[in-house]
Every structure is written in structure tokens, then in C-alpha cells.
Amino acid sequence: MPGFLLHQGAVVMCAHGGMAQPTVPNPRVLVSSMPTVTIAGPFTIAGCAFPPPPAANGPCVTAQFVTSALRVTSNGQPLLLLDSQALCVPTATPLVIASTQVRVTGM
């Protein structure tokens, strides 16, 4: 499914409201003057409100994307799209991509 490319300035959050940032942006491909993001690098999460043990298994600390573009790569790694899916560690909840650039699409 085609979707907009994810870039470093995109608003990405865990399911509990923590802000997620890519640890390894891809400076080889720029959109809106910002690096894109590949599936290879994890995201770090700050500000997750999910309670720690023993009340729950939170807060979210990192996340790894599990789906990406099928036809668009950079440096041999698939780029992330608006509809890419990720899982947070240790909670196994999804990341939510709230907004990204809207000029460049990939498939």
C-alpha cells in the first residue's frame, strides 16, 4: 500500500503518549529537509505514562518497526511509511504515527 515516507521530524508516539524518536536517521534521502528513517534502526521512547511493575509491564523504552516499504530502499534498507507498524519494548504495544510530511510517497 502506498504511503507517505516517514522522516525524522514526524510525530510518533507510543500508545501511552510517550514521544518516539529514531536513533539512526538516514541522511542519504531527505524529505522536507529532514532525513528519512529506515526499518533497521530502533526508536527510543521518552515520557511513556504506562506504570512500571508490579502494576504493569511499562513504561515503553524502545520500539522496532516490523513493516516498511516494499519497493523503496536507501543504503539497502527499506524506508518507513506512514502505515508502517512497530512494537514497543517491553509492553508490546504499537507506535502511533500522528503526522509526517505529505509530499513524498513510497510503496
We report the CATH number of the domain holding residue 43 as 2.60.200.60
- Facing residues of 81 across strands? 5
- Facing residues of 48 across strands? none
pLDDT at 52: 93
pLDDT 10s digits, 29-52 = 999 999 999 999 999 999 999 999
Q: How many domains does the chain have?
A: 1
Domain around 29: 3-106
Please, how many CA atoms are within 13 Å of residue 44, restricted to the half-sphere of its CB? Answer: 4
Which portions of the chain are predicted below pLDDT 50?
Answer: none
| Residue with the three cell numbers 522496532 | 64
